[in-house]
Amino acid sequence: MKKLISNPLIVALDVDTDTEAVKLADNLQDVAGGFKIGPRLVQRYGQTLSLEIARRGSLFIDCKFFDIPSTMESSVRACFESGASLVTVHALSGQEALSRLASVEKELNSIRPFKILCVTILTSFSEEGLPPNLKSQSIKTHVQDLAKLVKRSGLDGVVCSAEELELLQNQNLFLVTPGIRFDLEEKGDQKRTMGPGEAMKKGASALVVGRPIIQAKNPREAAVDYMVAITQKK
């Protein structure tokens, strides 16, 4: 049976054109475990590009759906029909929405490997930058509470920063971690970052890496460097 992803490295295709995205996917398809696209490309090129990328590796559609339950369900189904193996929703959408999505995931996963990933607190947030309605407790506590909600709802896919990985161990969760950087790399707008090897040691199931690979002089070499670090957990 086909795997959800072939290895833990998911490359974020954070580019502006379908030509750039397909070129990167062609170049990296035997190194990357999957490819992530978000609204930047989905809004411009829709299902046509999604299916193209899905032919080159496991497709992760990252639009972070946060809406009423019926709209979220329809959106997730549309992503599946567009070739997605992984789809993000916000854990903050609540018990009713997540429970309904757990039933959708079970149904779609019987057709081919498919997982809904629930976003906890974005890696662009620091404690000081949290919205006012989230400031009464720490980011780590928010993430723990949201992960418990996800599990209670019947899902097991969680997106969190590497700083929260150790808190979520031994809960049978599939933990996807963005904000992955080698020490000397530019962090950009990511606040809670960590190196690939350390994140894997702390329990990540998959890592999302974008700019350090796709903006490198040689994206393929950069991807290989990340895979070596992931494999050796260094």
148 is catalytic: no
- Kindly state the tokens that stand for 77: 């189904």
Kindly give, in sequence order, each residue whose CB lies less than 8 Å from that of residue 217, ignoring residues fewer than 6 positions away. Answer: none
* Per-position DSSP letters for 91-125, written without gaps between them: GGG-HHHHHHHHHHHHHHHTTS--EEEEE-S-TT-
- Please count the other Cβ atoms lying within 10 Å of the Cβ belonging to residue 110: 8
Kindly give, in sequence order, each residue whose CB lies less than 8 Å from that of residue 90, ignoring residues fewer than 6 positions away. Answer: 64, 65, 66, 118, 119
Q: What is the largest CA-CA distance in the chain?
A: 46
* Helix or strand holding residue 87 (H, E): strand 84-90
Among the listed residues 23, 64, 140, 201, the single catalytic one is: 64
Which residues have a catalytic role annotated?
A: 64
